[in-house]
A and B are shown apart, each in its own frame.
Chain A
Amino acid sequence: MRIVFKTNYMQDIRPWKDRYQLCLYLILLAVVAAAPWWLDAFYLGELTNVLIWTIAGLGLMILTGHTGQVSLGHAAFLAFGCYANVALIEAGVPFLVAFPLAGILTGIAGVTVAIPALRLHGIYLAIFTMALSILMDDIIVLSEPITGGVAGKYVGGVEIFGHLVDRWGTPDLFFWLVLTVTVLVTLGYINLLRAPLGRSFIAVRDSEVSAQAMGIDIARTKMISFALSCAVTGWAGALMGLFAGAFNNETFSVLISIQLLMMIVIGGLGSIHGAFLGAIVIGFLPQFLSISKEYVGALFGGNTVAIPGLEFGIFGMILIAFILFEPMGLYGRWLKIRTWFELFPFYRKDMFKRQKSYLKTERLR
């Protein structure tokens, strides 16, 4: 175990524990940034996809993981960002302006939604956002002049500083674009968490009464959280649109909302790492399944059978296993493993024990 002897406040404020940890993350970043040189086109595309899901996961993590407001409707904001971005580009706005603007517009949309939803708690908010996500499908169809309705939209590459950035034409550049956005969002998120605003999110999540008593305006804090969360999700949606190339009203269904929420639960709620780990699981699960299906198929005489719903079925089982055995997600598991090695042989099983409480409701009847 490395023990850091702290001699000034910056050591607590800095996001990294010590030089060693900083180097580790920088090396990781460098290796990922070099991916176009060591990955073939197919897997580079997959990695890009994982990063886009990571951004979406970071967006939802702000709201659900750190502010404690469960949303089952974030696909609606993915859709909003995606369409806003494309509509702006089609109106002749250069990508470097359209893209940030798409996120900001999604953030504003998020606040608009948040205002009526502020009074809703827990499960009711989840239902509210879920209904919103279901309605989004119809809203897209109804606003056909902008969205192209059921026929959907096609989007080619975008131009940045005279370079064409396109998922198929220049996958390397597209990957770096996505990576840049991921890094920027992550840095912003880290800054948020070490500043008063991020702590006020956590305060609202853990106890609204005492957050209030500390001078935190609950409604305002939730609104800001919605705004940030939706803006980031909007960016992810915009990138998803560019990545897919074509999309319509059914691309961002309520299932995507659910998948997104499940992703951050598997990754680990309330941690930035969780969004990354969850996205990796979501991104590579289909690949893993198709490979293992071929393998199993070969075992039983060589024919691969298509099993509809398999992906979601397996996904559901993984999720159930996580909620039962590792409610803190992959990141929680990683923390335990790391602590085990650091403290060897003094690790105790109850070190990460969660406090269980008896249910007591505010319901009167």
Chain B
Amino acid sequence: MSLLEFENVTLKFGGLTAVDNLSFEVLEGEVFAIVGPNGAGKSTVFNLISRFYEPYAGSIRFDSHDLLRVKPSGVATFGVARTFQNIELFEHATVLQNLLVGRHRHRQTNLLSELLFLPSARRQEIENREKVEEIIDFLDLQAYRDKMIAGLPYGVRKVVEVARALATDPKLLLLDEPASGLSVEETSDMRWWIDDIRRQMGITVLMVEHDMGLVSGVSDRVLAMADGAELALGSPAQVQAHPAVIEAYLGKVS
């Protein structure tokens, strides 16, 4: 069953066509990767899902909801979580607070019950913390739990971002270059985590990644893009062997 569905989506910035008549679907429970050279429109696809950009034509559906009808903040409430290419954490808050923000979509209390911290607010907080502590354990973040983001090394921030996205309890997790800037060991950790996220938590993963080792290691299907359009779609091996993909990366063989 398809969870996310792009249908003939086109996005234009002025005269530039960033995404060109793109169609694909992500099936429930799979790890789906988007690859392609810089400027191919991979992150743009994510930003379309997050509703930061308004498509020129086409439709985007998630879990039988029309995503184009909701506000950017509404996307998360359907169960879509994401990370960012350049890390967008809440710098002047602790790791724990960052993850707790991830719980925001499950907020049941209102202004008054929070100001007075009524028992309902307390119950909700305990619930939030149970969930968040699970994720901290899962991603081995105990050591950084009460540290400010501003002082953390890059690799840890990357993991915290994944953790924050998981804290929202998503159905679909969007990972924007999860391995960029990570060391070899950190990348292999990331690889196991993505695997576990899918297997243990049952979360569908859509990721944009350059590291072909990681992509072929974890993903079920791969979409190769160039200039905003689809080049090839299939298993990692199929895509890597596809002549159009080789041409896009290495140039035309004459």
Q: Helix, strand, loop or mixed for chain A's interface? A: helix
Contact surface of B with A, Cβ cutoff 8 Å: 50, 52, 71-77, 81-82, 84, 88-93, 96-97, 100-105, 107, 109, 111, 114-117, 121-122, 124-126, 128-130, 150-151, 164, 168
With A197-B111, A210-B89, A218-B73 as contacts: A9 and B50 at CB distance below 8 Å: no
Q: Is the CB of B129 within 8 A of A196?
A: no
Partner of A13, one of B72, B91, B101, B129: B129
A202 to B, closest residue via Cβ: B93
Q: For B128, what are the chain A residues with a Cβ–Cβ distance below 8 Å? A: 196
B149 to A, closest residue via Cβ: A206
| Further pairs besides A194-B125, A209-B84, A224-B111: 16, Cβ < 8 Å | A13-B129, A195-B125, A196-B114, A199-B93, A199-B100, A202-B101, A206-B90, A206-B92, A207-B88, A210-B84, A210-B89, A213-B84, A214-B102, A215-B74, A216-B104, A270-B92
In the bound assembly, the distance between CA atoms of A209 and B90 in angstroms comes to 10
In the bound assembly, the distance between CA atoms of A214 and B93 in angstroms comes to 15
Q: Is the CB of B150 within 8 A of A355?
A: yes
Partner of B52, one of A188, A195, A207, A209: A209
The A-B contact count (CB < 8 A) is 119
With A13-B122, A191-B114, A215-B77 as contacts: A210 and B104 at CB distance below 8 Å: no
Q: For B103, what are the chain A residues with a Cβ–Cβ distance below 8 Å? A: 196
Q: For A211, what are the chain B residues with a Cβ–Cβ distance below 8 Å? A: 90, 101
Q: For B150, what are the chain A residues with a Cβ–Cβ distance below 8 Å? A: 354-355
A-B contact pairs, 27 of them (CB 8 A): A9-B129, A10-B126, A188-B116, A191-B116, A191-B121, A192-B114, A194-B125, A196-B103, A196-B109, A196-B128, A199-B100, A200-B101, A203-B90, A207-B89, A207-B91, A211-B101, A213-B72, A213-B75, A213-B81, A213-B84, A214-B76, A214-B81, A214-B101, A215-B75, A216-B104, A355-B150, A355-B151
Q: Is the CB of B104 within 8 A of A214?
A: yes
In the bound assembly, the distance between CA atoms of A202 and B75 in angstroms comes to 20
Partner of A216, one of B73, B84, B92, B151: B73
Partner of A213, one of B82, B93, B126: B82
With A10-B126, A216-B73 as contacts: A191 and B92 at CB distance below 8 Å: no
Partner of A197, one of B92, B114, B116, B126: B114
Q: For B97, what are the chain A residues with a Cβ–Cβ distance below 8 Å? A: 199, 202
